[in-house]
Structure 1
């Protein structure tokens, strides 16, 4: 339970004390954009050093002042970079924001930038930021739905990931899950026939497609039908397994190269 909060005096950053944790929400609006990456936008530390019933007095610049129950003050210095990131984004300086994140090399910064970019519908930056935090499947839908100029190419690109998953008989559920996540984030409705086919099953797809093409609202039905069936724990476990395998392959390949060089 959060018992004391304070907003930064310069930008949209929030800090608070909850139970035994001091938490900073570097981009609170992430909760409205993509809740899955919200934990990656936080800074947390143990608050037991502040004793019982501490109170946040001020949040000025990158310094938070906390008053303990005995009246003494404790000052906490936060990273100055999130505030700079907010400044760049508020001025639509997306290239500067990307350069800053590359310089800082922290997941928290990239996650904040990803959410900020989606909120401002800058899909080029969103693509870069999501890739930096390992959300590769989400990147695909950012690119396919917003970055392509030609509609025909866009339709082909949208189904590319699904076709690969079906061809190799793996990660179909992963592609469908991230597709649905993308649609919900941007308030869109599914109209792609291939996704409808694999989300619903072949038997019912034609009738649903006709209803969608006739203009019938589809978002609520699709969400109720498909979203409840998504097993995110299983999907993330599969993704982690693929990442682990890729790292092992890379390590093995590098080891072989090193052996070859020694000989």
Structure 2
């Protein structure tokens, strides 16, 4: 319509005022109509976007609250399940198997359930593992010390009964205390067991050799004395008998001859 009026305005190359007024009137009305329509559309768009934003924020809040609730529930469920599994399974198993089972189960549970678990809780589990290892080491050390003390007491008692009480007490108390206190403090725990076993064997062998030599000398002297005495008695008795018999025979023969 505007294009047709524009053409009529320049009809035959002459400007007509009537068509110019009509052209301007329609132009302004059309522009006003278009501007009002665009404003109404913007208002409707704003309302729609605002409503959508409200719905989106509500949905986001609901999702965040449900996500937080699910995280807390998953943490509680995982902790309760881990406690039940560890209590039920770790009764009759050794330490090595328990560590392997705990590692495998913790990896599976952490992959499936522990998506929202923080690093602080993982650090606590690692610290608990380290504490359990240190406690197990302390328990094993105390048990090994008790076992070694009981065995050493039994061995020392059996050997001390054979040897004199005075020498054994002095040697065992002085040497064992000095060797155990000085060497065990300087050497590590793993080497202490080997060194203590080897040294105890060497010390016991050297002491036993010395004690056996001294006892053998005493026994040999006492036995030689007894043997010499018994042999002398036997020899003297046999010789006396022979001498007496020979003398009697000679005397008897001489008497017979005289008669």
- For normalisation by structure 2, the TM-score amounts to 0.20
Of structures 1 and 2, the larger Rg is shown by 2
Higher helix share: 2
- For normalisation by structure 1, the TM-score amounts to 0.19
